[in-house]
Amino acid sequence: MKINPWAFGGLFLLISGIWMWNNFELPKFYPFERVGKVEAIVFQSKLVVPRLPGFGAGGFDQIVNFVYEIDEVIYISKYRAHKTGQFQITGDSLLVTYSKNDPQRTDPIIYYHNVSSKKRWANFSKSFLHTKPNGYKALDLKENIFTYEDYAQYGERLIKTTGTYIIEDNIIKLSPLIYYQNRKVGDSLIEEPKPINTDEEKIFLSNFIINPNGSIIEVNTNLIFDITGKK
């Protein structure tokens, strides 16, 4: 049988075209793999240089980190956005397809912006700070996501956690989902988010009372956090 070398060339170009169209990423799932869908929430995003110059939206890609829960287990995943419509900010939501065999393998399919497109780059954000003799405590609220930090002297981190919150009757109630762990890469320390699932990982945070002047009180310590940022 005579083999036409041009056929292989055409197939190679087709596969290469699909690969480039998918921003140089392999398919997320195997054929006939069992998948499910779950809602997720974005807790962190940052702009990065695209894999090839000119392929990103406005010259950049975006790495988006999100958290979701399946059968009472919390997972963290991320994706690389190379189109403006896929760009997300803290507090945005996603509808995610995940593998039934490996729920950490995900593919976002619908992107929800929780504020209007005209205002989403200046979304709701408040920061509170309490300075103590040997460090500080901070609470940041961005849309429906919080980050709480407790640092001791010389930058030693006691607690850093992220999760969701609600405000009821001027009370801020925090539900931690993630804690942060430092990981050494070469000579640098990388802050790595970890899901909270085991009893050893669970973090119990106080509620906060909102004062009329905008400051907040940590109920279990009576410490006052002054507001430092407002939008």
Choose between 175 and 54: higher pLDDT. 175
Q: Tell me the torsion sign for CA atoms 122, 223, 179, 112.
A: negative
Query: Which residue from 167, 150, 168, 171 is spatially nearest to 159, judged by alpha carbons?
Result: 150
Residues 222 and 170 in one domain: yes
At residue 8, φ and ψ (nearest 5 deg) are: -65, -35
Q: What CA–CA distances, in Å, run from 210 to 201, 227, 229? A: 28, 11, 15
Q: At 19, which helix (H) or strand (E)?
A: helix 5-21
Q: Does 16 or 58 have the greater pLDDT score?
A: 58
Regarding whether 58 and 40 lie in a shared domain, the answer is: yes
Residue-range definition of the domain harbouring residue 222: 124-230
Q: How confident is the model at residue 184 (pLDDT cuts 50, 70, 90)?
A: confident
226 and 150 in a common domain: yes
pLDDT per residue as tens digits for the range 64-74 = 999 999 999 99
